[in-house]
Amino acid sequence: MNITIFGLGIVGSSVYNVFLKKYKKILTFTVNNKYNCLLYKNFINYKILYFINNLFIELIGSIKISIELFLNSIKYKNNIITANKELISKYYIFLNFIFKINNLKIYYEASVCGCMPIILNLKNFYFKDKLKYYFTITNGTTNYILSNIYKISFLNLIKKSIKKGYSEKKYFNDILGFDSNYKNSIILSFFFNNYVFHFLFYLESIYGINEIFVKLNYEKKYLSYCYLINNYCVLGINIFLIKNIFFIKTKNAFNSFIINLKYSNKNFFLSKGAGSLESSSSVISNIYNFFKKKYFNNSSCFNKQKILKKYFNCFNILLVLYKKYNIFYYFFVLKLKIIKYYFCNNVIIKLKKIFLKKNIILLYFFNKYIFYIYKLL
């Protein structure tokens, strides 16, 4: 079976480079090879690539080309993996129906939350559960802008996000909120098993934020939410001033997802949402799901890598010692800081994992004494 990648942009180039080491014969379609991928066979005309029983990976982004690609893939009985959130959200019923009739498979995990497996969890774990509410950050670009807006100006943050690969040059969908709008319509359509139109959401954008809003001593987050009250559903995508620790800790290009269900109660997800490798990882997982590769444990013992037996080598540690005069001499030589004295003549020291040799030397001198080690994370 041939694998064909359509579009070698930020995501497509990373998918191709990951597969180049294992599966070299990949057919590609791109007009401009911006990221200088070592191409096996590249075609400028994508109509030549319509083979029978082929796997298409559509990473172009524009709807005009991708609709034609989807229809021709159904005609020639080709399975498809896509990251086109706009196409999936607008034609969700049509695509699922027509692919199911023709006994074909369509995967769109990469179109939702980067490397966060939301669709996979909804499909395998939460498909019989009842939703109460969910709050989520589905766009890594807007989260990166809002978490750094008090340091850098709005336009400079957009330029930085493009350089780092968090957003594309056509960044209007991210800033105006259409990107997260499409993603949430896919999530709810999949969860309710009914088509939820993307224009049902109350939508705000982060474009044109006031200086007074920036200076407020609250964390600003661009949240999407769905709240079920009796038979009513509240849908929206808004800017919030946050006090929740879970959302405060999701900074830069990270995505987070809090979902409350009837039987499973609260579940939390956190992963990086924007970036080339993050989005490509979900595409690659869809490819492995398509081929249904089964992994088994090796019969041999695990002896290829050396395991560190001393747990204090890998972490920052707190060391509690009995106080004596010769102890302070070693503190002075090794330049270790004493954190606190206890009343029972004990001393507590914080040792960093960077100074590994110092830790080993110190513990070598104190092997006759009674001491306690506590790991810090």
CATH 3.30.70 is right for the domain spanning 312-376: yes
Pairwise CA distance, residues 56 & 109, whole Å:
15
Calculate Rg over the CA atoms of the chain.
26
Q: How close are the terminal C-alpha atoms of the chain, in Å?
A: 47
Pairwise CA distance, residues 180 & 185, whole Å:
9
Of the candidate CATH numbers 3.40.630.30, 3.30.300.20, 3.60.120.10, 3.30.360.10, the domain formed by 118-274 belongs to 3.30.360.10
Lowest-confidence region among 146-155, 181-190, 262-271, 296-305: 296-305
Q: Quote the percentage of the chain above a pLDDT of 70.
A: 72
pLDDT of residue 353: 59
pLDDT of residue 374: 65
pLDDT band at 321 (very low <50, low <70, confident <90, very high): low
For the chain, give every domain's residue range. Answer: 3-111, 118-274, 312-376
CB contact at 8 A, 271 and 278: yes
pLDDT digits (tens, 9 = 90+) for 13-22: 888 887 766 6
302 has a pLDDT exceeding 70? no
Pairwise CA distance, residues 284 & 57, whole Å:
10
308 has a pLDDT exceeding 50? no
4, 42, 94, 144, 253 from 59: Cα distances, Å: 11, 15, 20, 23, 20
Read off the pLDDT of each residue in 69-84 and give the average, rounded to a whole number. 86
310 has a pLDDT exceeding 50? no
121 has a pLDDT exceeding 80? yes
pLDDT band at 135 (very low <50, low <70, confident <90, very high): very high
Lowest-confidence region among 27-31, 135-139, 246-250, 344-348: 344-348
pLDDT of residue 304: 45
pLDDT of residue 224: 92
Read off the pLDDT of each residue in 75-92 and give the average, rounded to a whole number. 87
pLDDT of residue 214: 80
Pairwise CA distance, residues 27 & 121, whole Å:
31
Average pLDDT of the chain to the nearest whole number? 78
Q: Quote the percentage of the chain above a pLDDT of 90.
A: 5
70, 71, 86, 162, 307 from 352: Cα distances, Å: 55, 59, 48, 36, 20
Domain 3-111 matches domain 118-274 at the CATH topology level: no
Read off the pLDDT of each residue in 278-296 and give the average, rounded to a whole number. 74
pLDDT digits (tens, 9 = 90+) for 168-205: 777 888 888 898 999 999 999 888 888 888 888 888 88
pLDDT band at 363 (very low <50, low <70, confident <90, very high): low
267 has a pLDDT exceeding 60? yes
Read off the pLDDT of each residue in 19-48 and give the average, rounded to a whole number. 71
- CA-closest candidate to residue 195, choices 316, 343, 90: 90
Domain 3-111 sits in CATH at: 3.40.50.720
123 has a pLDDT exceeding 70? yes
pLDDT digits (tens, 9 = 90+) for 210-249: 777 787 878 888 999 998 888 888 899 988 888 888 888 8
159 has a pLDDT exceeding 70? yes
Read off the pLDDT of each residue in 116-135 and give the average, rounded to a whole number. 86
337 has a pLDDT exceeding 80? no
Structure tokens at 19: 């597969």
Read off the pLDDT of each residue in 102-112 and give the average, rounded to a whole number. 87
Side chain identity, residue 61:
G
pLDDT band at 365 (very low <50, low <70, confident <90, very high): low
CB contact at 8 A, 72 and 44: no
Side chain identity, residue 11:
V
CB contact at 8 A, 20 and 36: no
CB contact at 8 A, 166 and 253: yes
pLDDT of residue 171: 83
Side chain identity, residue 286:
N
pLDDT of residue 253: 84
Q: Residue-wise over 102-139: b if at least 16 C-beta within 10 A, else e?
A: eeeebbbbbbbbbbbbbbbebeeebeebebebbbbbbb
